[in-house]
């Protein structure tokens, strides 16, 4: 029976196939979504995600520098020169040619990469090289090293 009120007809059309599939798809996606965020089903946990992110942040936030941030920086080199004169020259000589301490202009037996040189200064070396970690701190060690490296590279400027 078909009713007719003011020309508004109610008809019983079949649901279009596309709409039907979309509906089923949404339902399946919903089940999948709920399951994948249910700890008992998938093992997912808010805590785990949080811990992973914190670990990642920590790894990024505290980089161990392996290269001198002040390399070729004239201001830092000037500061490093002053630091060298008061902390290093007594042993390594005014011209870095050595004395009690090793010659710093030639081959460095403990390594010539930035991180090795930093380590020599920060931690000290067994045959009489003191540790400067406490006294200077990381930043000034890099500066004094920038000076030492500028002399190694270009020779000493007046």
Query: What is the contact surface with ligand HEC in residues (CB under 6 A)?
Result: 87-88, 90-92, 100-102, 104, 108-110, 117, 120-121, 125-130, 132, 144, 148
CB of 70 or CB of 132, closer to ligand HEC:
132
CB of 68 or CB of 101, closer to ligand HEC:
101
Residues 6 or more apart from 101 whose CB is under 8 A from it? 88, 91, 92, 93, 128, 129
Measured CA to CA, the distance from residue 130 to residue 118 in angstroms comes to: 13
Q: How far is the CB of 85 from ligand HEC (least distance, A)?
A: 10
Measured CA to CA, the distance from residue 14 to residue 22 in angstroms comes to: 15
CB of 46 or CB of 127, closer to ligand HEC:
127
Q: How far is the CB of 157 from ligand HEC (least distance, A)?
A: 18
Q: How far is the CB of 86 from ligand HEC (least distance, A)?
A: 9
CB of 74 or CB of 111, closer to ligand HEC:
111
Residues 6 or more apart from 144 whose CB is under 8 A from it? 80, 83, 84, 87, 88, 121, 136
Q: Which of 122, 88, 127, 132 is nearest to 96 (CA)?
A: 88
Q: How far is the CB of 89 from ligand HEC (least distance, A)?
A: 8
């Amino acid at each position: 029976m078909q009713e007719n009120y003011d020309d508004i007809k109610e008809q019983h059309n079949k649901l279009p196939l596309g709409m039907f599939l979309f509906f089923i798809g949404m339902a399946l996606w919903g089940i999948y979504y709920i399951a994948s965020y249910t700890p008992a089903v998938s093992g997912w946990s808010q805590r785990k995600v949080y811990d992973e992110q914190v670990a990642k942040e920590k790894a990024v936030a505290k980089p161990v520098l392996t290269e001198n941030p002040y390399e070729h920086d004239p201001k830092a080199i000037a500061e490093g020169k002053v630091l060298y004169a008061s902390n290093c020259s007594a042993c390594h000589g005014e011209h870095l040619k050595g004395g009690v301490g090793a010659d710093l202009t030639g081959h460095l037996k403990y390594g010539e990469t930035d991180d090795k040189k930093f380590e020599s200064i920060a931690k000290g070396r067994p045959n009489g090289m003191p540790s400067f970690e406490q006294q200077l701190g990381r930043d000034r060690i890099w500066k004094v090293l920038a000076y030492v490296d500028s002399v190694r590279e270009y020779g000493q400027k007046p």
